[in-house]
Amino acid sequence: MTGFGVLLLRLLFGFGMAFGHGWGKLMSFSDKMDSFPDPLGIGSAASLAGAVFAEVVCGILVGLGLFTRLALVPLIFTMAIAVFVVHGNDPFSGKEMALLYLVPYVVLFLTGPGKYSIDHNI
In terms of DSSP H, where are the helices of the chain? Answer: 2-10, 16-17, 23-27, 29-32, 44-52, 59-64, 68-81, 92-111, 118-121
pLDDT band at 82 (very low <50, low <70, confident <90, very high): very high
Of all residues in the chain, the percent with pLDDT exceeding 90 is 96
Tell me the average pLDDT across 104-108.
Answer: 97
Angle at 98 between CA 50 and CA 36, to 5 degrees: 40
Surface-to-core class of residue 121, CB atoms within 10 Å of its CB (0-12 exposed, 13-18 middle, 19+ buried)? exposed
CB 32 within 8 A of CB 25: yes
> What pLDDT was estimated at residue 122?
87
